[in-house]
A = this chain, B = another copy of it.
Amino acid sequence: MKTIIVVGLGAMGASVAEGLRTPTSKIFGIDNDAATCKIAVTEHVVDEIIKMDNLLVRNADLIVLAGPIRMIQDQLQLLQTMKLSGETIVTDIGSTKSEIMESAKGLPNFIGGHPMVGTDKKGIRNRNKDMFVGKPFFVVGDSQKIKLLSNLLEPLHSDIQAITATDHDKLVTSISDLPHVAAFALVNAIDRELPNNQLGWQGSVAGGFIDTTRIAQSNPELWSQILLSNRDSVVDGIDQLMTTLQEYKLSLIENNDKKLTEHIAEAKRIRQKVGELHE
């Protein structure tokens, strides 16, 4: 029987908890929110709610930290004072890994984790235990311990990939942080171009706007923390995006159809290649 503890039972944490359930595992949950804890137990997301200071925490097989980044960092500090069993593997599902690996320095059995899935929905009711299936799940740390973690995470059926923290953060900036910043900024910019719902724009958008800005509905506190925890890399990414926008602007000012078409054709080619791998 494996003892697995998931700390933070929001949409992501609850999905992990439910996804890890097997006949040979016992899943415990920790969460600050009483209503979430109640749902977690009554809907069998976890077997039991416990406290962070419980004996179970010190002797668990796996502890998954699934709250916002700063909470993960606080919990990593706390776990370092708790005399965990040498068998206990600790992981997280926060985004940025360099800062987290730094915070986890005193935990010998910590492996950083980051499943490449997400949701703009908040809370335990929006869990989906199948969201990890076939999706990349990046792990950062010692290769022997990665093997142990991979076995424990097997019920999620994700595609576990080892990566360095630096490479991970560069990758995540590009493919996750930057799309979020672009979606946030696009909505802000349109609201300024057409303030107070001028021309009824909010009722006139088509599918392009809807899709492009879907992730602008993500949790503000969570995303502010994610972006700040990876800020050097995100600032680089924003600079690159602004450079690219500047090129589009220049092609327009120069009335340069050829150059503009080339930029777009290049974007289309790259995006279609991604689509072939994913859709």
Q: Which residues of A contact B (CB under 8 A)?
A: 116-118, 135-136, 138, 161, 163, 167, 170-171, 173-176, 178-194, 199, 201-218, 220-221, 223-225, 227-228, 231, 234-249, 252-253, 255, 257, 260-268, 270-275, 277-279
A267/B216 contact (C-beta < 8 A), A194-B174, A239-B249, A244-B189 known = yes
| Contact of A212 with B212 in the complex, beta carbons under 8 Å | yes
| Contact of A231 with B253 in the complex, beta carbons under 8 Å | yes
A179/B209 contact (C-beta < 8 A), A192-B244, A271-B216 known = yes
Interface SS of chain A: helix
Q: How far apart are A120's CB and chain B's nearest CB, in angstroms?
A: 8
A218 contacts which chain B residues (CB < 8 A)? 264, 268
A202/B242 contact (C-beta < 8 A), A208-B176, A210-B279, A248-B181 known = no
The closest CB in chain B to the CB of A193 belongs to: B174
Q: How far apart are A106's CB and chain B's nearest CB, in angstroms?
A: 25
A180 contacts which chain B residues (CB < 8 A)? 208
Provide a sorted-by-A list of 18 A–B residue pairs whose CB atoms are within 8 angstroms: A118-B206, A163-B199, A171-B201, A174-B189, A174-B201, A175-B190, A175-B205, A176-B206, A179-B213, A183-B267, A185-B247, A188-B270, A211-B211, A220-B264, A224-B261, A238-B249, A238-B252, A241-B245
